[in-house]
Structures are given as C-alpha cells and as structure tokens.
Amino acid sequence: MRCSVVAATTAGILAGDSKAYGQKTLPEGVKFIQNALISYKNGSSPEEIVKKECARFGGKPTIMGFARPLAKGDERLEAMERTAASLGYHPGEHLQLAYEIEKILLNEHDESMNINGYISAFLSDQKFTPEEVYRVLAIIINSGVTACYIDTFNRPPETFLPMHCDDIDYQGPPLREVPDR
C-alpha cells in the first residue's frame, strides 16, 4: 500500500498481538504444556491429558501448540530441532511430554505438534514463564514484520505477497447487490 516502514511495522505488530497469530497463542501454548507437565507429574498419563484437553473443545484436537488449521505437519520443527541440538540443547521434560502428546494426536486425530508446541515446550524447559515468552515475542514480531516490509517494498502496489488481487480466481457464489437503505 506504499505506507511507511513505521506504519507497516506497527500494523504488523498489532496484527501479531491478536489471538489469531503468535503473540497470544504462544503464551497459551506455554501455559498448556506447563500445566500438562504438572498433571503428568501428579499421575495423569499423556493419554488422559490429551483426552481432557480435547474434551474442552467437544472432542476436537484443538490443543494449543498442536495441529495447524491449513496444513498438516510443520516444516519448521526439523530446523528448530537441528538448531537446538547443534547448540547443545537436549529435550527437557516439557519437550519430551510434548513429543508424547504428539504421538497420541497422530494416532488418534492425524494431527501433530506445530512450531508453537515446540517453542512452548522448549522455552518451558528453559524456565520461561508465559509472560516472559509474550515479552520476548514483541521483538520477534517487530523484526519479522519489518523484514517482510523490506522484502515486498519494490513489488507492485495493491498485491498480496506475490499475487495481484486480480490473480485470485474466485469460485464461490456470485456477487450480490446490497440494497441501499
């Protein structure tokens, strides 16, 4: 839209602070895995943890940090696991539990851990609180949005990523007239 880098970054930060993106969902993922580990240490099995969490959503596998709405699997996990290993990190108790939860979800719902689940468990193993994760994410959103702005600045205006709006082949119901009132 040819706005300034400050306006674009600010808009991105505001979008990033929404529940639909990571700023709210990652701290929720941290809360989930930390509470799950407490339940596990108090005698609940990973199966019971999954069953209880799914029951909150009518039996659906809507567990924060697991599953993705538009894609199966998460290609980012392998890179994160490789990087963590190269830096000398080994899966701690939160991440080990997250892998157990993933096995159950794969078996029962064909869903797997996503980047939120991995980061939530990894940061929990490093003793981060949900609030600390939220604070750290502020700078991640800022730098990521600004990088996207720089990447798209020289593209034609009024495009979405690599596409023009006219490139979208709408297949839905025909447009309707909205009566004036």
Amino acid at 118: Y
Q: How many helices (H) and strands (E) are present in the chain, helices listed first?
A: 7, 2
**How far apart, in whole angstroms, are the C-alpha atoms of residue 102 and residue 110?**
9
Q: What is the pLDDT of residue 163?
A: 62
| 156: DSSP letter | P
Residue predicted with more confidence, 120 or 163: 120
In the predicted model, what is the mean pLDDT of residues 20-32? 79
Helix 130-152 × helix 22-41 angle, to 10°: 150
Mean pLDDT of the chain: 87
67-95 confidence digits (pLDDT tens): 876 677 888 899 999 999 999 999 999 99
How confident is the model at residue 36, as a pLDDT?
Answer: 98
Percentage of the chain with pLDDT > 90? 48
Cβ within 8 Å of residue 32, ≥6 positions away: 53, 63, 64, 65, 120
pLDDT higher than 80, residue 35: yes
For 3-17, 91-105, 117-131, which range has the lowest pLDDT when averaged over its residues? 3-17
* Size (the chain), residues: 181
Q: 5 and 146 in contact (C-beta within 8 Å)?
A: yes
In order of start, what are the domains of the chain with their CATH numbers? 9-154 (1.10.230.10)
Burial of 42 (0-12, 13-18, 19+ CB in 10 A): exposed
Q: Which tokens in the block code for residue 134? A: 């939220």
What are 163's strand-pairing partners? 160
pLDDT at site 161 = 59
Contact 12, 141 (CB under 8 A): yes
Report pLDDT for 142: 83
The 8-class DSSP code of residue 149 comes to: H
Please give the average per-residue pLDDT across 163-178, as a whole number: 78
Give the predicted TM-score (pTM) of the model.
Answer: 0.76
pLDDT tens-digit series, residues 53-69: 999 888 888 898 998 76
